[in-house]
Amino acid sequence: MIIIIGLGNPGKKFQKTRHNLGFIFVDYLKRKYQFPSFQIKEDLFSKISSGKILKEKVILVKPQTFMNLSGKAVKAIKDYFKVPSEQIWVIHDDLDLPLGKAKISKGKGSGGHKGVQSIIDSLKTKNFIRFRIGIMPKDKKVIKKEFVLDKLSKEELRKILPLKKKLALALETAIEKGINQAMEIINQ
């Protein structure tokens, strides 16, 4: 079993913001692999949907805590499903990667991402997989908090669209051949 967690903030106010790319990508996976509708699980502080990708059981998760408290939901999910941290795959936005680029990381620090840091603090390990989706602004002097909470422009959405298919291919490769093979697809 693999738990795929998309990071974001709940509520209409945050839909289609840069910080909600984790939710956007998990929603795409739900549609692509025909998972059932997300169900709220209050005891897990999340919306979840379960199905299969290839022959692997997969739980898709959208934490309903706010971004900076993501670790609370991830810890509850990990404990409930009794999975090792290596089977937790987190999808999130990343200010250090250019828009339209993605990277898979494992066992690394948060890079200043507060949602990822919350997960590291709650799980007491960095030993989980991260699918990092680039949102780096053209002007790097942009105030981070305001930038990540702004809506994605049409141009940004066009640049991100091809990453959805690439991410799905990487996930399938990771399931069939391991995460290192998936890294070869994404980390180019």
Q: Which residues are catalytic?
A: 19
Mean model confidence pLDDT for the chain? 92
Query: How confident is the model at residue 150, as a pLDDT?
Result: 86
Query: How confident is the model at residue 184, as a pLDDT?
Result: 87
Query: How confident is the model at residue 141, as a pLDDT?
Result: 66
Query: How confident is the model at residue 57, as a pLDDT?
Result: 97
Query: How confident is the model at residue 169, as a pLDDT?
Result: 92
Query: How confident is the model at residue 188, as a pLDDT?
Result: 66
* Cα torsion 41, 26, 1, 50: sign: positive
Query: How confident is the model at residue 173, as a pLDDT?
Result: 94
Residues in the chain, pLDDT under 70? 139-145, 188
Domain housing 38? 2-186
Domain with residue 146: its CATH number is: 3.40.50.1470
Give the number of domains in the chain: 1
Element (H, E) at 160: helix 154-177
